[in-house]
Structure 1
Amino acid sequence: ARLCARHPKTKFLLTVLDASQQHEAAVIASRFANIHLWGSWWYAGLPSLAAEGSAVRLELLGTQFTFCASSAKLHDQLIYKWRQGRKLLARLLTDKYSELVDKGWRISRADIRRDVQTLLGGAYEDFLRKKLQSGSLYGRSSSTSRFFHWRYIKRAIIPSKLQADNPPCTARGVEYQLQQRERKPSHPN
């Protein structure tokens, strides 16, 4: 985190060597616009560890990280890691989409395609194109998708004055609450 703070115009790619570092890495990536979480190191890529770490990343970062990046040294390893990673991603997204549907969201094929594309390289490409501003240490860019920010969904309790027009746990109600949160800065300048 100190490195990111000292060099706000320098972009950093981060992967973790130890599965226990996933949460800390995701928190740091959520706070600094100049860092991008990228894949997992070989030994942190075991299915059980990758599932837990990726779930943490989804909850803290939405789709703004690279899900699967290879450190494979042999082509055979690359193929099996890719197949294993896609199966894991399908399970994780199915669970997260189910949570959203239970809360009243409608999920389209376009949503799924967009999120998969973002997780499998689109977020990395966006990160490379992003222009960093001096002094904008905290927070992600305004283009960060809020669709997958579970912390916003969990807090989307509609205030009583809105309940008549936007019943709780409907897509319209949650969307309204998310729009209100987007308009208010979440951190001091």
Structure 2
Amino acid sequence: MSLAERVARAVDAAPIVDLHTHLFAPQFGALNLWGIDELLTYHYLVAETLRAEPKVSPEAFFARDKAAQADLVWDALFVRRSPLSEATSGVATVLHAFGLDPAAKDLREARAFFAARRVEQHVEDVLRLAGVTALAMTNDPTDPAERAVWEAGVAPDPRFHAALRVDRLVSSQDLARELDRWIARMRPRYLAISVEEVSAPPRAVLDVCRAHDLPFAMMIGVTRAVNPRLGVAGDGMRAVSLAPLERLAAENPDVRFLITTLARENTHALCVVARKFANVLPFGCWWFMNNPSLIEETTSMRLEMLGPTFVPQHSDARVLDQLIYKWRHARRSIASALSRRYAAMSVAPTDAQIERDARALLGGIAGEWLGA
């Protein structure tokens, strides 16, 4: 067996702890998105469809019901064009995993398949097919639908860990009290915020992280609504200075920071920051970086600069079924990057060493920071 085959085998077998998703446990009811119509109306595919079909205005697209939107996406991107983008090939991967035809002329077979599924069994099947043993949700207590679930005292599936999103919560007049209240109710594994540029969070956020020994996650570089007509699909990105992150890490050595950046140009700078500050953990290839070529490139660079002390990927999935393709595709890119680094070693690694490193990168390090 070749080195590449040995590495691929170890990476494929490694259990995954997914450090950042937008998924919900089945106990959250309608917030738990799954099925073919949800897959096809994911905002990546919406943006691609409106690019491919410029005669369809965003307003006309969003005026359709979800099934009609999905039909349009399927026809535009799968029937009349080849699914070459990562978003479309991902849908094809999911359909193939369930024994469905990704070249079908319409969605009748896929809709019938998903309509016959029970949500509890579907969750089990998806996690098994993706190789995911635990994941972090994104939980915003200012969202009325989600807030109602938490206030009803619902206990989520123990594999779905809470992550307290503070983007809108930071405007609270009594932020410290609000954070303590939601930490007590949700028992989150970390606090998180999405920002365009790095800035120090309110003191209460860092104090709460210290008091509860919780990491603070920053997702850096998103520019909201560069094309507001596209709704969620209309956000963009920018490269930013990470000098404020260096100051934040230096001034708060007792706070752990989970960091991912949206711009390719920032990935190298983040590695440099992480080399200097052990309380900074680079994680994943986020959003526009979540493409196999960029995952492989970024993982190679991180291995060269940091060794196996980072989290190469998180799914960022919003639809449950996306876990299948996001992790199947990511595993290939991670295995390829690992193989090149092993090939550069003066002494060939043993199977035990490869398995150890794969388990650390795919789930071990994330599990330690997540407490999973």
Q: Pick the TM interval, shorter chain.
A: 0.5 to 0.7
CA contact (8 A) 1:11 1:34 kept: yes
> RMSD between aligned alpha carbons?
1.5
Query: Aligned to 2:280, which of 25, 35, 55?
Result: 35
Check if 1:97 corresponds to 2:339: no
| Correspondence for 1:185 | none
| Correspondence for 1:176 | none
Check if 1:108 corresponds to 2:350: yes
Task: For 1:1-12, list aligned pairs within 5 A.
Answer: 1-12=246-257
* Deviation for aligned residue 1:97: 1.1
* Deviation for aligned residue 1:47: 1.4
In the alignment, residue 115 of structure 1 is paired with which amino acid? D
| Correspondence for 2:297 | 52
TM-score (norm 1): 0.63
Q: Structure 1 or 2: larger strand share?
A: 2
In the aligned structure 2, how far is the partner of 1:28 from the partner of 1:124?
19
Larger gyration radius, structure 1 or structure 2:
2
Percent identity over the alignment?
40
Task: For 1:107-146, list aligned pairs within 5 A.
Answer: 107-127=349-369
CA contact (8 A) 1:36 1:124 kept: no
In the aligned structure 1, how far is the partner of 2:320 from the partner of 2:267?
26
* Deviation for aligned residue 1:126: 4.1
Gapped runs of 5+ residues in structure 2?
Answer: 1-245
CA contact (8 A) 2:293 2:333 kept: no
* Deviation for aligned residue 1:114: 0.6
Query: Aligned to 1:25, which of 263, 266, 270?
Result: 270
Check if 1:66 corresponds to 2:306: no
Q: Secondary structure at the match of 1:75?
A: coil
Check if 1:83 corresponds to 2:328: yes
Q: Secondary structure at the match of 1:68?
A: coil
CA contact (8 A) 1:4 1:35 kept: yes
In the aligned structure 1, how far is the partner of 2:319 from the partner of 2:369?
27
Could you list the per-position Cα deviations for residues 148-175 of structure 1 after superposition, in whole angstroms to 9, with x for gaps in the alignment? Answer: xxxxxxxxxxxxxxxxxxxxxxxxxxxx
In the alignment, residue 365 of structure 2 is paired with which amino acid? A
CA contact (8 A) 1:51 1:88 kept: yes
CA contact (8 A) 2:295 2:334 kept: no
Could you list the per-position Cα deviations for residues 74-96 of structure 1 after superposition, in whole angstroms to 9, with x for gaps in the alignment? Answer: 12322111000111111111111
Could you list the per-position Cα deviations for residues 56-78 of structure 1 after superposition, in whole angstroms to 9, with x for gaps in the alignment? Answer: 11111100001121211012322
CA contact (8 A) 2:260 2:286 kept: yes
In the aligned structure 2, how far is the partner of 1:94 from the partner of 1:106?
11
In the aligned structure 2, how far is the partner of 1:29 from the partner of 1:126?
17
CA contact (8 A) 2:300 2:338 kept: no
Query: What number of residue pairs does the alignment pair up?
Result: 126
Could you list the per-position Cα deviations for residues 34-62 of structure 1 after superposition, in whole angstroms to 9, with x for gaps in the alignment? Answer: 11111121111111211211111111110
CA contact (8 A) 1:64 1:123 kept: yes
TM-score (norm 2): 0.33
* Deviation for aligned residue 1:26: 0.8
* Deviation for aligned residue 1:127: 4.8
